[in-house]
Structure 1
Amino acid sequence: MEPESRPRLVTKAMLKHDKVRDADLLLLPERVVELNASGSAILRLCDGDRTVREIVEVLEEQFGATGLTDDVLAFLRDARDQGWVVVA
C-alpha cells in the first residue's frame, strides 16, 4: 500500500452503523468487526477511486489534523492483511 494506491473494500464486505450499539461495523462473511471512529472514517473513503493521499487529505480536513499519512497507511496495510480491502 502506497500513497498513490486506490484501496476499496473487498466485494464481500459492507459497512453498517448499528443503532443499538451506536457503533460502526464492518460486515464480512461469518465475521463482524466493530470499528472505532477513525477506522470507520478511513474505510468509508475507500471507494477504489480515491488514492490514499486523497483519503488522507479528506481526513485531515475532517478532523482538523495534519500528518496522518503514516497512520492511515499503517491502518490500510493491516486492513489489507486482514482481507478487508484490496487495491483497485
Structure 2
Amino acid sequence: MSAGAPVSDSAVPQITRGHRLQFEPAQDCHVLLYPEGMITLNDSAAEILQRCDGQRSVQAICNDLSAAFDGADVTADVHAFLKLAASHGWIVFDQT
C-alpha cells in the first residue's frame, strides 16, 4: 500500500513482526511494544489493533466494531487509523 492509497476493504491487516500488543497495568491501557520502545494506545486504537490478526479483512473488522458499539458507523475511523498504523510500520496488509 502506498502512502496515498486508500485502505481496501478486502485487505487483511496484521501487526508487524517485532511488534506486540498488550495491556500494560502500570499505564492502565493497551500498548504496542517494539524493540526500540512502546506506543501508548487510546481505547479506539486498541480495539482496532486487537482485531488485526491476519485473518479478518478490513471490512470484517469494521463490521465487528460496528456490532460491538451499537451499530455505530466506524468505517472512516477504522480506515484512517489503519492507514496511519501502516505508515508507521505497525501493521502490514495481505491483499486478497
TM-score normalised by the chain length of structure 2: 0.87
Aligned to 2:9: 3
TM-aligned CA deviation for residue 52 of structure 1: 0.4
Other structure's SS at 2:11 match? coil
Of 30, 36, 45, the residue aligned with 2:42 is 36
In structure 2, runs of 5+ residues without a counterpart are: 1-6
In structure 1, runs of 5+ residues without a counterpart are: none
Of 80, 83, 86, the residue aligned with 2:89 is 83
Structure 1 or 2: more helix by fraction: 1
Q: Percent identity at matched positions?
A: 34
TM-aligned CA deviation for residue 68 of structure 1: 1.0
Aligned length in residues: 88
Tell me, in whole angstroms, the C-alpha distance in 1 between the residues paired with 2:37 and 2:80. Answer: 22
Aligned to 1:18: 24
TM-aligned CA deviation for residue 64 of structure 1: 1.4
Aligned to 1:46: 52
What root-mean-square deviation, in Å, do the aligned CA atoms of Structure 1 and Structure 2 show? 0.9
